[in-house]
Amino acid sequence: MAEPVASRPPAVTTDVVVVGSGPAGAAMALALARSGVDHLVVTRYDSLAAEPRAHITNQRTMEVLDDLGVADAVIAQATPQHLIGTTTFCTAIAGEELGRVRSWGTDPDTHAAHVRASPGRVCDMPQNLMEPVLVNAATAQGSRVRYGTEYVSHTVDDDGVTVTVRDRTRSDDGAEYDVRARYLYGADGGRSRVAEAAGLPMRGEMGVAGSLNIVFRADLSPWVAHRPSVLYWVLQPGSDVGGIGMGLVRMVRPWNEWLTVWGYDAAQGPPDLSEEFTKGLVRRLVGVDDLDVEIVGSSAWTVNHMAAEHYGAGRVFCGGDAVHRHPPSNGLGSNTSIQDSFNLAWKLALVLRGDAGPGLLDSYSAERAPIGRQVVDRANRSIAETGRIFDALGVSGTDAPDVMRANMDARKHAGAGAEKQRRALREAVRFKAYEFDAHGVELNHRYVSGAVVPDDLAPDPLAAVEDPELTYAPSTTPGARLPHAWLALPGREVSSIQLAGHGRFTLFTAPGGEGWGAAPDVASGLVALVVVGPGQAVEDPYGDWAALLEAEGIGDTGAVLVRPDHHVAARFATLPADPATTLTTTLDRALSRT
């Protein structure tokens, strides 16, 4: 770590420095701005993301964006769920189809599970559209963003962090200056200099494979509008790039803006991305030799399998790709990044405000690092699981394109062998639900940390779920995300999740539990008391909320304490003799208050 310039006074003083303006950095800026925390965002780039890169936006992230006040702006620009879910495997977009798998909650069974699980709906929001929504909302609420400003180094002392940055637009002696802050958040991507300088231990491997992105415009509606999807996987044995010949054509905007992903040998480096090469590759994947194509841009990147063991070192924290680096499989990248920031932002706000002890910040790494590791492993495993499709088609184990094509064609014939092959292919395609419809991976987060107070009430139903990667198990178990139930305010319905959050704790109880309101933290506004029941401001017209709590051993006078990030901090079966002291003691523990 570089030493600070001796006796140089800081040019800027703030509470939090955020390095990076991608999904993690932008979400942190917006969350801090909404909490009234003074902060500065620095990014070495002159603008926000130009490429669409990350795009799938899952239900949990939509809940977060709703809490941050930008869900409607995202929905207005995103491609909706019903247009993204027919993931197709084919030999070319205009070629032979090999199979389809319903994705992102569009299968009739999983769609019902999605509707029951959350007020939010999956959508496709490309990163070059998402970042402006987040950053514009953040700046409108007080964020300061400095473009063309590069993180150089930082030093930490007992009182804060001194961050040295460089103004990339200047070459004079004043180009470098110091920013003094209480905390530093590194959201500076897969080659994070903040994470490296902080010495965060990493496990895994970088550069396991190479990939090319080619963004292009072309009208593909004649071949895709009848099977709307965000992903079309193309298998072309004998292609001169990418080994077995598996590529991806991804919808960016329906149905005239696209992105192809194609592999290359990372050891040899990427090919020359000339217009002749990129147009030729696009036309080959689409399967139309004279396709009218406009190349918008191209780039090379590597597939990584790496995650940080923990996300913080003293006053320095990291989030997003800085701490979990993986391929885009499962569509978890920007979702996990935004959720990292949502987890940490309220903790920083309460600590800076004096409502929590600094020990609360230790819970960030304890809670998010296991999620990051799961996401990295799941994304890389999803790539490997495509091998089942190759095996079923008979293209594994041979380098001969003619043999591959003959083996693929064999499934069209009559006879026991072809019947077995067709069955294997169907099963292999359906198995890709682990990549394209892993509802449990998205919602079954269970935090274990000092910011969660366990109990001995009903056991967590997740333990009884046959496949927790595919199936979501709602529960008020401490550490779990608050279950969704439709409740009623005068004139409108509202989700239980929408009643929680907004920078404060929420205590849900029912008629008879009003005694919880005597706690000082309720009077101060740190905790919002929500009484749910007939004759109350919030009613339970379907009875779903009461049934959920009853099944988990929580009576009408009991309560569920929900953190600002919608996760359950604690729960109580009944009203204790001294509810004010019970709630205060619980919050003291969860917030590391002495």
Each of the 594 residues of the chain gets a pLDDT tens digit; together they read 444 444 588 889 999 999 999 999 999 999 999 999 999 999 999 999 999 999 999 999 999 999 999 999 999 999 999 999 999 999 999 999 999 999 999 999 999 999 999 999 999 999 999 999 999 999 999 999 999 999 999 999 999 999 999 999 888 777 999 999 999 999 999 999 999 999 999 998 887 778 889 999 999 999 999 999 999 999 998 765 444 578 999 999 999 999 999 888 777 888 889 999 999 999 999 999 999 999 999 998 888 889 999 999 999 999 999 999 998 898 999 999 999 999 999 999 999 999 999 999 999 999 999 999 999 999 999 989 999 999 999 999 888 889 999 999 999 999 999 999 999 999 999 999 999 999 999 999 999 999 999 999 999 999 999 999 999 999 999 999 999 999 999 999 999 999 999 999 999 999 999 999 999 999 999 999 999 999 999 999 999 999 999 999 999 999 999 999 999 999 999 999 999 999 999 999 999 998
Listed by start position, the domains of the chain span 12-79+123-203+308-380, 387-431, 450-590
Q: Could you give the maximum distance between any two Cα atoms of the chain, in Å?
A: 83
221 in Cβ contact with 215 (< 8 Å) = no
Distance CA 162, CA 318 (A): 16
293 in Cβ contact with 217 (< 8 Å) = yes
Residue with tokens 């296991």: 370
Which residue in 60, 66, 65, 119 sits closest to 544, CA to CA?
119
Q: Which fold has domain 12-79+123-203+308-380?
A: FAD/NAD(P)-binding domain (3.50.50)
- Kindly report the CATH class assigned to 450-590: alpha beta
Q: In what order do the strands lie in the sheet with 79-80?
A: 56-57, 123-124, 79-80
Sequence-ordered strand ranges (E) for 459-501: 486-489, 492-495
Which residue in 537, 478, 481, 489 sits closest to 510, CA to CA?
537
User: What is the predicted pLDDT for the residue at 240?
Assistant: 55
Omega cis (within 30) before 255: yes
- 3-state class of 245 per DSSP? coil
Here the tokens at position 293 are 């194509």
